Structure 1
Amino acid sequence: MIYNLAKIAIALSVAFCSWFLARLVRERRRFAGLPGPPHHWLYGHLPIVKKIKEGLPADAHINLLHATIAHEYDLGPIYYLDLWPTFDPTVIVLDPAMAAQATQLNNLPKHPLYRLMEHTVGTQSIITTTGQQWKFWRKVFDPGFSSTHLATLAPMVVERVEIFVKKLEEHVETGEAFQMLPLTKSLTMDVIGRVTMASDFNTQQQSHEIVDAFTVLPKYIPPFGFDPIRLFSPTRLWNARYYQKKLDRLIGEVVDQRFRERRAGKVGPSEKSLVHLALDTYEQMGGAVNTDVITDPVFKINAIHNIRGFFFAGHATTAASLCYLYYVLYKYPVVLRRLRQEHEEYLGIDLEDVGARVQKEPTLLKRMPYTTAVIKESLRLFVGVGTVRNGVKGFNFLDPKTNIAYPTYRDGPFPILIRSFPIHRNPENFPDPEHFDPERFLGDRAASMTKDAYRPFEKGPRDCPGQELSMMEMRITLALTIRKFDIEMAYPEDAPKVMGDPAYHVMYSSAGPAANLPIDKPRQRTGAMSHAVRTAARNGLNSSSVGKTSEWLVLLADKPGILEHRVRIRPVHSKNFVKLHESGFVSWAGPVFKEHVSEGIRPFIGSTMVVNAPSRKAVKDMLEKDVFVTEGIWDWDNVQILPFQTILRQPAQKTGAVL
């Protein structure tokens, strides 16, 4: 008996080894003549991948692995990776024209790798389905992301961002460091909850069952599950299934509740949240006539899984993109200053009025070119999306420069990875690609950009349907925060870096900044003017004066802890300002105090003045030589220079107070 079992075991071992060797030879031969890094006859590209991974932080996103391989071995516009038996042999596309061949000129099928996402977004989501089912549901939900409908959502987004502002103010008060990504995720979950389910989760202020389940589920599912305690737990699969069923049940209850509300006449015809768009379709198809219960289980599971998919995809990427906006603006103060100036010109100088103005005129932010350019450039540098397509027999990529054809099928299909990250960082597509330069998206430079090179939301029929919603969230968040707070990063000096950035992409539920973007003691900007000055400026400033006036309101905050030094050098400063006043440059100048008096003391926070000059540059040229600038009294990096027309003009009197 034992002898027979041994013979069977030996036979099975020999058979397996024979199969493995035959498969190994076949897989290695598939790469003959194909471009890629140095190929080992036995191990394929596994040694190369191991070497590159060892040079990257352990948590670095796979986007960075593919980009680093291309850089280290000077590869492009396309290369192949032989990773069998750990993964299917893969095509990495780094050229925008070739990317367009797979996603726009042709719509190649998605790779079965997307089935991994079924655990999170469901089996019936448009993220994972193809063919007629995908087309049908994409058409159902597209009206929910139209520009017209999104404009009606702006007041809701403003309300959610105002809560986000309060959370930042709380961190200002405590003075403690914190992580930005959890805050932006709570914000975007609040927004997407309203967009998908017509629900107010209030995630920024309290927990919610649906949000909690969405947060926990990815931790049990590869490739998102990097929590080793959960990932290698013997109950992992059971836990994953538990949270999947819980999400289906909870979202199903929301769908049922919205259906009952419709039957009771509580929902207007203009409601276009995704759950109501699905229910519109259900009713148009004759579903549930004369009943308050959804009777079609196929429809219901499709609606549930699509809501899961939009909720998952609609919050994570936008939350990460907001973090990267704060990161690049911290790194590039010149860009930050110009961005703040544009916000002042379009949104006014009273920060308390910004939310109301955006709610009243939702399309105003889209007309702010530099703001849009800043967002686009941030997305270029830190794009977190891509797409994985499946090779098709008879379809080859064609290099438009050389006319060389590259196969997508050889003894089976190759997975095709369109990598936007290295495309965005290729100097042939974007000159000086590592530099943050929003002006590349303005004017003639934008018009001359390499075709199809910019792909932050992917392209083609399967591009991101929520991209305009994401852009609106980012515009509104910047409008309500960027002039109110100074946000500084708190990465330690010895933090690991990739391509010079400590905020390199890691894999959470999607690509996001390393260490959740640590923030060091955020500060509320002290350059805000007093109520009296703000009111006078608001009354004196109108849109027709922008760019035409020669009179400017200058607002300068004092840096903290410099009062004694200010007093010592004030005589030199005053002497200079007497000359500026007599020359006609300074019409009026005076101190700015906090609005409230404490124990008879009016806390001093800065200076304000009205000056005459042909341009902002001329104003800065005159003031930057003053001792309060050279000695670091004024926060010169955050000076505000605003077009202004005084209400009371007394040109014959020289009574301006000198600081």
Structure 2
Amino acid sequence: MGSFEVLSAGRVASVCLTACAGALVYLVVKGYHARRTFYRLRQQGMPMPPWNPILGHLLAVPPVMKTLPEDTQQPDAFEALCKAHEKEDMDSIIYLDMWPFADPMIVICSPVLAVQACQEHDLPKPPILHAFFNPLAGGDNLFTMNGPVWKRSRALFNSGFGAGYILEQTSHIVDEAEIYVEILREHARKGDMFSLDDVTCWYTMDIIGTVTLDSRLQSQRQHNPLATAMRRQIRWHVLDNEWNLFIRWNPARPFVQWYNNRQMDRYVSGELDKRYAEWKEDENTASSRSVIHLALAGYMAQQKTLPRPPRLDPAFKAWAIVQIRLFLFAGHDSTSSTICYCFHLLQSHPAALARLRAEHDAVFGTDVATTSQKLRANPALANQLPYTTAVIKETLRLFPPASAMRGGLPGVSLVDAQGNAYPTEGTNIWILHSAVQRNPKYWGGGDPAAFHPERWLVGPGDPLYPPRGGWRPFEHGARNCLGQTLAMLDIKITLALTVRELDVRSVYDEWDALNGGGAKAAGKGKVKTVNGERAYQTQVGGAHPADGFPCRVRFRV
């Protein structure tokens, strides 16, 4: 027995040593290929920071990070790198060698090159996206898929996000918006400071819950296990810019994420079973084009046998749960952030706020209390708000909630207006929407970081007129955002029901005084603004305003 134990221990040690040696060889070989790739790119004159054959561009990051807040979103750091190291005779693009933290990367801040990557070449989504989306969606999803699998899934859900059908959801959106407005009124009566981002996330979660599951989550007022698990999963999600090892390697994280996954999967599974039972009894109940009904419609269309199977196929359920979770995440996360930034920019620009209020008076009448009723009776009123639409688009230009990532391919190069070709093979291509949408080379009319809703109301030839491919918050091409029409409607209805009754104002000075930010942080050498903006974007799932956008709400006098 003793010799057997010694022999077993020896085999285990041998296996461990072999595995370690194999891992080391893999890292060395992959690292060699990464460095060799960049050696060749540098020889070709490709734009990049000073490169070290051992450390690549790792030394280029710390100086940039010192100029930014610790919790800023990654695109701000890479935008700063691009500005510092792009070549004058080339477009806004750099190559970055961040091995072993990332595969070879191209950072794009140019609309011309973004159009080529996402529209002309329609490059695929890279595997790196799985690490971000898997904890939230639970597996391969509409955002990470490629090829025929993606095309079939996209086609299945298209009708649920058509403009006509989304407009029919106006009454459901108004139902949730009325609760949101009442919550803001309660804060106005109390006069307290609260996180606008937090309150708004629950609100948009309830909207997307209705559109996705065809049922009300009611998470604004009470506990809902699905909404709570999703929001908790986002808070526990570790992003690539998390350098604190105590946070990144928190031993509790796998257990919390497992529990959140279980809660979300159980809830959505129950909803699928419920809808399937209704469908089997009466197929006329399947007239809805909610995400859950569209998924079931695709499943039923594939069934060749009658009577219907007593239970849904487990493989189908697993696939459907992942897609539904994706819609729940993407459908609430970016919209909530944009609503917060709309309030922020309108607060900072009284003339724009006055014009917005005047438009709402003209369309809905001066009695604010009747706006909900009028929207329910005539949803098309939401399409008669050109200045409101311009405000939302300009907000999305200045504070886009996400960026785009594509994978390079052999033989595919991006070419700028000067004829410079940038090979993409073996790289991840990161299109920084925030940088593309404020690039002074392409955006005219003065300071591209200034708030000018009027640029969305002028014609070609005007200095403010947007450049082709320059506005990309929902991306363009075949893989544009499926939910963009819903997001725009959500925000228009929200503004229509709030801005004439309530003033929403950030109180960062007050927050900083209580939490050691602002001047106190600056005195300690910490940066708390990005380009002078205190409500800079942080990465919490998507991009959200710093510190949850602390605010106070007052009734309009």
Q: Give the alignment's TM-score, normalised by structure 2.
A: 0.87
Please list, as runs of the form range in 1=range in 2, the aligned pairs for 1:94-243 lying within 5 A after superposition: 94-116=109-131, 117-223=133-239, 231-243=248-260
Letter in 1 for 2:294: L
Q: Is 1:34 aligned to 2:46, yes or no?
A: yes
Q: After TM superposition, give the deviation of residue 19 of structure 1 in Å.
A: 5.2
- Is residue 2:264 matched to residue 1:264? no
2:86–2:94: 8 Å Cα contact kept in structure 1? no
Deviations, residues 324-353 of structure 1 (Å, cap 9, x unaligned): 001100111111011111111111000011
Could you tell me whether the CA contact under 8 Å between 1:288 and 1:294 is conserved in 2? no
Secondary structure in 1 matching 2:429: strand
Query: 2:200 corresponds to which letter in structure 1?
Result: T
What residue number does 1:652 align with?
none
CA distance in 1, matches of 2:493, 2:461: 23
Tell me which residue corresponds to 2:490.
473
Task: Summarize the Cα distance change of 1:77–1:231 in structure 2 as closer, same or farther, 3 Å threshold.
Answer: closer
**Which residue of structure 1 aligns with residue 545 of structure 2?**
513
Aligned counterpart in structure 2 of residue 89 of structure 1, from 98, 104, 110? 104
Retained in 1: the 8 A contact 2:504–2:554? yes
| CA offset digits 1:29-49 (Å, max 9, x no partner) | 143121022323442221111
Which letter maps to 1:208?
N
Distance 2:269 2:241 in 1: 25
Matched positions, count = 516
CA–CA separation in structure 2 for the residues paired with 1:437 and 1:143:
34
1:555-634 to 2 correspondence within 5 Å? Answer: none
* CA drift at 1:248: 1.7
Q: Which amino acid aligns with 2:258?
A: R
One-letter code aligned to 2:544: G
For the structure 1 residues 68 and 500, does the alpha-carbon distance in structure 2 shift closer, same or farther, using more than 3 Å as the test?
Answer: same
Whose radius of gyration is greater, 1 or 2? 1
Q: Residue 515 of structure 2 aligns with which residue? A: none
For 1:250 and 1:20, how far apart are their aligned partners in 2? 42
Q: Using the alignment, how far apart are the partners of 1:154 and 1:384 within structure 2?
A: 23
What is the CA deviation profile of residues 202-261 of structure 1, one whole-angstrom value per residue up to 9, with x for unaligned ones?
111001011111112234443289698764332422332332233222211111101112
Aligned to 1:49: 61
Q: Which residue of 2 aligns with 1:72?
A: 84
8 Å CA contact 1:505–1:511 kept in 2: the answer is: yes
Alpha-carbon separation, structure 1, partners of 2:28 and 2:454: 60
2:436 equivalent among 401, 404, 423:
423
Match of 1:435 in 2: 450
Residue identity in the other structure for 2:538: V
Deviation of 1:23 (Å): 4.9
**C-alpha distance 252-18 of structure 1, shift in aligned 2 (>3 A):** closer
CA distance in 2, matches of 1:36, 1:24: 14
Aligned-residue identity in percent = 32
Question: 1:151 & 1:18 partners in 2: Cα distance?
Answer: 55
Q: Deviations over 1:417-457 (max 9, x none)?
A: 11111011112322221110000000315984311111110
So what's the TM-score if we normalise by structure 1?
Answer: 0.74
Q: Which moved more, 1:148-157 or 1:424-433?
A: 424-433
1:164 touches 1:187 (CA, 8 Å); kept in 2? yes
Deviates further, 145-154 or 72-81: 72-81
Instruction: Provide, for residues 521-550 of structure 1, a one-character-per-residue CA deviation record: whole Å limited to 9, x for no partner.
Output: x11112xxxxxxxxxxxxxxxxxxxxxxxx
Contact 1:219 1:225 in 2 (8 A): no
Change (3 A) 1:225 1:48: closer
1:574-612 CA-to-partner distances (Å, cap 9, x unmatched) read xxxxxxxxxxxxxxxxxxxxxxxxxxxxxxxxxxxxxxx
Unaligned runs of 5+ residues in structure 2 are 1-5, 7-12, 510-517, 522-527
C-alpha contact 1:381 1:425 (8 A) present in aligned 2: yes
Q: Is the 8 A contact 1:181 1:320 kept in 2?
A: yes
Unaligned runs of 5+ in 1: 527-659
Decide whether aligned partners of structure 1 residues 305 and 225 sit closer, same or farther in structure 2, where only a CA change above 3 A counts. Answer: farther
The two structures, once aligned, show a CA RMSD in angstroms of 2.6
* Among 484, 502, 523, the residue aligned to 2:554: 523
Q: Answer yes or no: is the 8 Å Cα contact 1:185–1:319 preserved in 2.
A: yes
1:326-381 C-alpha deviation (Å, 9 max, x unpaired): 11001111110111111111110000111111111112122211111000000000
| Counterpart AA for 2:137 | V
In structure 1, give the amino acid aligned to 2:50. P
SS at match of 2:107: strand
Distance 1:307 1:419, change over 3 A: same
Q: 1:259-658, aligned counterparts within 5 Å?
A: 259-265=276-282, 268=285, 270-286=287-303, 289-291=306-308, 293-399=310-416, 401-409=417-425, 413-431=426-444, 432-444=447-459, 448-492=465-509, 494=519, 496-520=528-552, 522-526=553-557
Query: How far apart, in 2, do the equivalents of 1:342 and 1:473 lie?
Result: 17
CA contact (8 A) 1:220 1:237 kept: no
Whole-angstrom distance in 1 between the partners of 2:481 and 2:334: 11
Q: Which amino acid aligns with 1:176?
A: D
Closer, same or farther: CA 198–19 of 1 in aligned 2, 3 Å: closer
**Using CA pairs below 8 Å that are at least 6 residues apart, which structure has the higher relative contact order?**
2
Q: What's the secondary structure of 1:507's corresponding residue?
A: strand
In the superposition, relative to structure 1, how do residues 455 and 148 fare at CA in structure 2: closer, same or farther (>3 Å)?
same
Residues 229 and 44 (structure 1), Cα distance of their counterparts in 2 relative to 1, 3 Å cut: closer
Mark the CA change 1:483 to 1:229 in structure 2 (over 3 Å): closer, same or farther. farther
Task: Output the amino acid matched with 2:197.
Answer: L
